Amino acid sequence: MEAYRVRRSNASRRNRLRAAGNAEFRGDGWVRGERCRPTGTRPYPGAHQPLYAYGTMRPNLPKVARNLLLLLALAALLGLLSRRFAAAQNGTDFPEFYAAAKMVGEGAGRQLYDPAAQDRFEIRYAGRTGTYFNHPPFEALLYWPLTRWPVEGAYLVWSLLNAGFLALVARLLAPEVFPNRDWRVLLVLFFLFVPVLLNFLQGQDSLLLLLLLSLALAALQREKEFAAGCLLACGLFKFHLVVPLVIVLLARPTARREKRLATGFLCAGTLLIAISAAVSGWGFFSAYARFLLRLGSLPLAGIHPEEMANLRGLASLFSLAAPARYALILAGSLIVLSVAILGQRQASQEGGATAELAFANAVSAGVLVGYHLSPHDLSVLLLPMALLLHSWRRTNMNWSGATNGKTTSGIVTSGIMRSGIMTSGITTSRRTTGASRWLAGLGVALAAVLFLPPFQLWLLAEHRYALVAVPVLLLFAATYRELRRALPGTPANR
């Protein structure tokens, strides 16, 4: 009988085990294990729960100590951000959100998309002019409670909220990525991802979108399509990323679920439009459209296609005329969306793990085809990466042996080599040819661009961040390849 230690102080749990007949007393404490049961039957309830082996020491710090260490790390991060904000306020995006919230609070919401009015409020409350608030009006209300503090204090509060968003995402995804590890480990790895750091430094809202997408996926897994549609609509402050995702999700052949998802999205979207109209008047439609069209010609607007890690950014690296460049972007977007829709329609018939991979594929497609993309927006890729790692762990992969002592880039590298997207289906347990090893090395290099901070920071400094779109395309292709492999009866699954 495999025995497990139960703490003596946990009297209630010990008594429950004894009452259930699943515990016995030994000289150094109560232990539990599988009592005699017929072969092939399931163990008693709770037997699958991770307890510590009998006779071994508790490997982790107490929960209070772990939480204290996490709070100290967050306090250090907030202190660093505070000092940096005071020194580099002119290079951050948060003052534009703060100035927009001030405009709404002072009744100037109808001038929200007047660049001159934004400049006046930024000078008054932030002491400088910079990038412009280019999001829908309803998002300004989200920042309005922060205006009770000065801009520096509001930035710290928003950074703390961002840390909370990221912690919630880590708690949601930890059982999928690291089932035998604490969620705080995944949170630390998240902080190593460069787009996440950029989101904190800029005071942006990409982590809020990441949380909404994670909650929407959880709702879809519980077959609550209406709630999922409402959550996706709440992410319309980045509509250029959410709308392509919703288009892919609505391509599912299951009419009833598709209808509930569309109903939730339309209901919440209509409510947000009404809120926007209350903030800026019904004329905000035309004012917002005109503002977006002239945004690229405004000084300090922050529109740099060569720093967009999507199809538009890749096209900007080529010396093409404007019509040819737009045609290339349109053709690439149609191909990516078609592949994502195909995967969504195939996976919806199976459900389960394939539906998760289809959602991951749709998120990656939204990032690639979105017309505007900032480096911090790549934070949403943590969701498809986590789902892809979960699929690799679940299917024919010795997760405990493959992840011990590895960093995030090492995990993804081993996953890329195993998945076959860069190695033609050759796993680490098989002998590879010279060509497949070369392709595996290429996959490692492309994954390093996406995960290792030095290379990403170098690309930012050289204004060539659009090259990160190549590993994003690799992630999209790997997710679709894993989706096809997970489908029963397909050549990828044979």
R_g of the chain computed on alpha carbons: 25
Q: Write down the pLDDT at residue 326.
A: 92
Is the pLDDT at 20 greater than 90, yes or no?
A: no
288 with 338, same domain: the answer is: no
Which of 59, 91, 108 lies at the terminal end of a domain, its last residue? 59
CA atoms of 173 and 412, how far apart (whole Å): 16
**Long-range contacts of residues 328-331, Cβ cutoff 8 Å, at least 24 apart:** none
23-26 vs 4-5, strand pairing mode: unpaired
Per-residue pLDDT reduced to its tens digit, 317-335: 888 888 999 999 999 999 9
Mean of pLDDT over the chain: 76
40 with 124, same domain: the answer is: no
Q: Which of 478, 468, 482, 490 is nearest to 198 (CA)?
A: 468
Q: Write down the pLDDT at residue 126.
A: 79
The model's confidence at residue 490, banded by pLDDT at 50, 70 and 90, is low
Residues of the chain with pLDDT > 90: what percent?
33
Is the pLDDT at 304 greater than 60, yes or no?
A: yes
Per-residue pLDDT reduced to its tens digit, 123-165: 888 776 678 889 999 999 999 999 999 988 899 899 999 999 9
Q: Write down the pLDDT at residue 346.
A: 81
Residues of the chain with pLDDT > 70: what percent?
69
The pTM of the full predicted model, rounded to 2 decimals, is 0.78
Q: Which of 158, 149, 160, 108 is nearest to 125 (CA)?
A: 149
The model's confidence at residue 353, banded by pLDDT at 50, 70 and 90, is confident
For residue 135, is it left (φ>0), alpha (ψ between -120 and 50) or beta? beta
Q: Write down the pLDDT at residue 79.
A: 72
The model's confidence at residue 180, banded by pLDDT at 50, 70 and 90, is confident
CA atoms of 188 and 186, how far apart (whole Å): 5
Q: Any residues with CB less than 8 A from the CB of 91 and at least 6 apart, and which?
A: 130
Give the least confident one: 64-78, 106-120, 245-259, 325-339. 64-78
Is the pLDDT at 235 greater than 60, yes or no?
A: yes
Q: Write down the pLDDT at residue 437.
A: 55
277 with 350, same domain: the answer is: no
- Output the 3-class SS for 93-105: CHHHHHHHHHHHH
Which of 234, 269, 303 lies at the terminal end of a domain, its last residue? 303
Stretch 256-262: mean pLDDT: 84
CA atoms of 290 and 226, how far apart (whole Å): 33
Per-residue pLDDT reduced to its tens digit, 397-406: 543 444 443 3
Give the least confident one: 90-94, 193-197, 234-238, 368-372. 90-94
The structure tokens 């926007």 sit at 276
32 with 165, same domain: the answer is: no
Stretch 55-79: mean pLDDT: 64
CA atoms of 475 and 340, how far apart (whole Å): 13
Is the pLDDT at 56 greater than 50, yes or no?
A: no
Q: Write down the pLDDT at residue 88.
A: 59
CA atoms of 89 and 214, how far apart (whole Å): 31
Give the residue numbers spanning the domain of 328: 311-494
For residues 256 and 468, the model is more confident at: 468
342 with 406, same domain: the answer is: yes
User: What is the H or E stretch that residue 31 is in?
Assistant: strand 29-32
261 with 381, same domain: the answer is: no
Q: Write down the pLDDT at residue 299.
A: 74
Q: Write down the pLDDT at residue 396.
A: 53
Q: Write down the pLDDT at residue 5.
A: 41
Q: Write down the pLDDT at residue 427.
A: 40
The number of folded domains in the chain is: 3
Per the CB < 8 A criterion, the answer to whether 449 and 455 are in contact is: yes
For residues 119 and 433, the model is more confident at: 119
39 with 95, same domain: the answer is: no
Per the CB < 8 A criterion, the answer to whether 480 and 492 are in contact is: no
41 with 13, same domain: the answer is: yes
What tokens does 17 get?
């085990």
Stretch 228-252: mean pLDDT: 92
For residues 366 and 432, the model is more confident at: 366
Per-residue pLDDT reduced to its tens digit, 432-486: 445 545 655 555 565 556 667 777 888 888 888 898 898 899 889 988 988 888 7
491 with 431, same domain: the answer is: yes
461 with 487, same domain: the answer is: yes
Q: Write down the pLDDT at residue 449.
A: 60
237 with 336, same domain: the answer is: no
Per-residue burial over 226-248, b = 16 or more CB atoms within 10 Å of its CB, e = otherwise: bbbbbbbbbbbbbebbbbbbbbb
Is the pLDDT at 215 greater than 50, yes or no?
A: yes
Which of 59, 81, 105 lies at the terminal end of a domain, its last residue? 59
CA 218 to chain centre: 13
368 with 408, same domain: the answer is: yes
